[in-house]
Amino acid sequence: MKSYLAAAIQMNSLPDLHHNLTQAEDLIDLAVRQGAELVCLPENFSFLGDEAAKMAQAETIAQASEKFLKTMAQRYQITLLGGGFPVPTTAGKVHNTALLVGATGEELARYEKVHLFDVNLPDGNTYQESETVLAGLQLPPIYPSKELGHLGLSVCYDVRFPELYRHLAQMGAEVLFVPAAFTAYTGKDHWQVLLQARAIENTCYVIAPAQTGRHNSRRQSHGHALIIDPWGMILTDAGDKPGVVIASIEPSRLEQVRRQMPSLQHRVFV
């Protein structure tokens, strides 16, 4: 693992595939011009807002999203995370799928989100992700990159389930991805503290690209894409506007924190 720059992209995706992919391309270009070698897009980067429209276009969205990720990674010679897009299943629903792509356009790792957001919030909004999404059945993978470190995948609501990240840590994760479309209501209280906890307890970097703003008349995301170091220090925060934040991933910092706080070696219950 070497020192390198990573980018967390913050988007305001809409129920408009072409608009979203154009926005994503502009932000990838901005990240690369700032030196990023690892670029991470948020959950629902290619389509967000209207569930019926998403399901009607799911096959088109899936094909366009995967082609986009492979084209962008190859064009810019980067490792690129697509934090979540719908992939149709034979069950009539979709998998919320995160895809990691390498600089030659090859698929490195794929993860189908296992924890689905079925929640009735106090602000009156109800989210039933399971109505259209089929939960994945496999624990998220690690991609072992010699240059970028051991990269662990997850998606959004997964962040509330620490056992998933402990699994990734046990598998050797050094960098954790948490691409999200966190609701504005829950995000203001829980987003930052949950991400810091996952970084601290697993002594890993956390890269959390995010959605922000309104996506339709009902749905609003919190924003604040973050990159956090293994001590839990916030390296960069995107605020509430679309854009890109960049931070350096330093193997020496990872080693320092794990040497000073070797909690992963002190576990009693495994």
Active-site residues: which are they?
43, 113, 156
Sign, CA dihedral 9-218-130-158, equals: positive
Three-class HEC string of 136-165: CCCCCCEEEECCCEEEECCCHHHHHCHHHH
Tell me if 216 sits within 8 A of 52, measured CB to CB.
no
User: Could you give the angle at the alpha carbon of 3 between the alpha carbons of 12 and 158, nearest 5°?
Assistant: 45
Task: Provide the β-strand partners of residue 177.
Answer: 207
- Beta strand 38-41 with 4-11 is parallel
Instruction: Tokens 């629902």: give the residue.
Output: 44
What own/partner pairs with CB < 8 Å and gap ≥ 24 does 28-33 have? Answer: 28/72, 28/76, 28/78, 28/80, 29/76, 30/243, 30/244, 31/7, 31/244, 31/246, 32/76, 32/78
Supply 123's token pair: 């602000």
Backbone angles phi, psi at 256, to 5 degrees: -60, -50
Buried b (16+ CB within 10 A) or exposed e, 45-66: bbbbbbbeebbebbeebbebbb
Is 28 within 8 Å of 39 (Cβ atoms)?
yes
Which neighbouring-strand residues pair with 101? 80, 107
